[in-house]
Amino acid sequence: MRLTTEQRRLLDGHGDAASKQAMAMLAAVGGAMGADALIPVASAHIVLDAFAMGRPGADWVVSLAEQGGRFVVPTSINAISYDRSAGTVAEVDGHQSRMLEACQAMGAVPSCSCNPFSQGIAPSFGQHVAWSESATTAYLNAVLGARSNREGATAIASALTGLTPRYGMHDPAERLAGAWFEVDAPLREASDYGLLGALLARRAGDRIPVVTGLDDACSEHLFGFAASFAISGNLSIFHIPGVTPEAPMLREALPDESVRPEKIGPADLAAELARYERGEVRAVDLVTIGAPHATIQDIREVVSLLAGRRVKPGIEFTLTTNCSNYEVAARGGLLRALEASGVRVTADRMCFGCDLGAGKFSHRAVLATNSLKAALSAPGTREVETCYGTTRQCVEAAITGTWTPRGQEWN
């Protein structure tokens, strides 16, 4: 991989120690991925996951700040492990706080959200960026038309240097579609788009898909679609003609005219729902909404569905959002309405905080959610079973304590 004179100087230590570490990471990753050069990035989005990184990760991030590291491009931060509206609640949060404070000292914006787009943090079409968190990467590539690979710790290295290796999503040829899926089924709820995202990722495999038939998708639908698409596969982009900026027409995303559409109909979505929903009435213990973080529109919908009713005693109903939307909801009276109904609203926390159902039930807890990302993640990170469905189903489960299945008919 070719390096400029200045890049080579940083790699050789002619700068602060943090920049040298960052250049070494980028050079190693770029070499492994066959990149020919490092290119400038306009921004970075970094994940500071205290559950995964623990004390060693926190020590490393803090050391970067102590060694003089400073972020040279606008840098936002992903959701963290605790509720910043309530303070820290567990030992792991001490590591989280140290990492957050160190990154702020280096110049990061404490956005603390897996949905920074709802805070107005969004790259522009054509910009090269370095973003961690798989769902944000899929959304920014597919919906915004920016360019980023699915970064990990390299996003911190990019924030420190303003550079990233040129490979993958930074190469126009690597962004072209290789499969076409035509959706012919009614999609009315955000949860429907979540199902479609997961189904699409599995069917596409390693082929970048172009999807037609999604004429009515709004931002909230596409947030969830991108999240389930990303967690169910390894791709960093999909194309929706008329939505994806670089693909206003089908053949601009899929130039190979020999590729014919694969159909996705009502039966396919019903079968996908059956993977996550057992189709039986069940008692629930936990209800969670907000993965990705709830937007103001999402919060308004929950308030409307609650209609002043209270959550059943013994049921924990948590709505997770970011600090910006939390403050807007507080000023607009939405937070007061939710808390009056018995909903716990958290700011900046990951959808699964360290206290999720911990030691509170004598049985394996049942979690209801409208997020397929949450439904897929929860069993692996917490001792819970999940029910997946619409926001209305989740609200009713919180009120009655009972999950009522949607049924397998898709009409």
Dump pLDDT digits (tens) for 164-176: 999 999 999 999 9
pLDDT at position 407 is: 64
Q: C-alpha distances in angstroms, 353 versus 1, 84, 335?
A: 41, 12, 20
Residue 292: cis peptide before it, omega within 30 degrees of 0: yes
Question: pLDDT at residue 277 above 90?
Answer: no
Mean pLDDT calculated for residue range 198-204? 96
d(CA 207, CA 60): 37
How sure is the predictor about 354, in pLDDT bands with cuts at 50, 70 and 90?
very low
What would the pLDDT profile of 209-248 be if each residue is shown by its tens digit?
A: 999 999 888 888 999 999 999 999 999 999 999 999 998 9
Give me the torsion for CA of 361, 366, 369, 374, rounded to 10°.
80
CB 2 within 8 A of CB 37: yes
Give me the torsion for CA of 83, 88, 91, 96, rounded to 10°.
60
Cross-sheet strand order for the sheet of 343-347 = 343-347, 316-321, 286-294, 365-369, 384-388
Question: pLDDT at residue 386 above 90?
Answer: no
Beta bridge partners of residue 344, listed in sequence order: 318
Give me the torsion for CA of 69, 73, 78, 82, rounded to 10°.
50
Instruction: Please tell me the least confidently modeled range out of 63-77, 86-100, 114-128, 153-167.
Output: 86-100
Question: pLDDT at residue 65 above 90?
Answer: yes
CB 27 within 8 A of CB 62: no
pTM of the model: 0.92
Mean pLDDT calculated for residue range 189-202? 94
d(CA 163, CA 167): 12
d(CA 42, CA 18): 20
Instruction: Please tell me the least confidently modeled range out of 253-262, 278-287, 358-367.
Output: 358-367
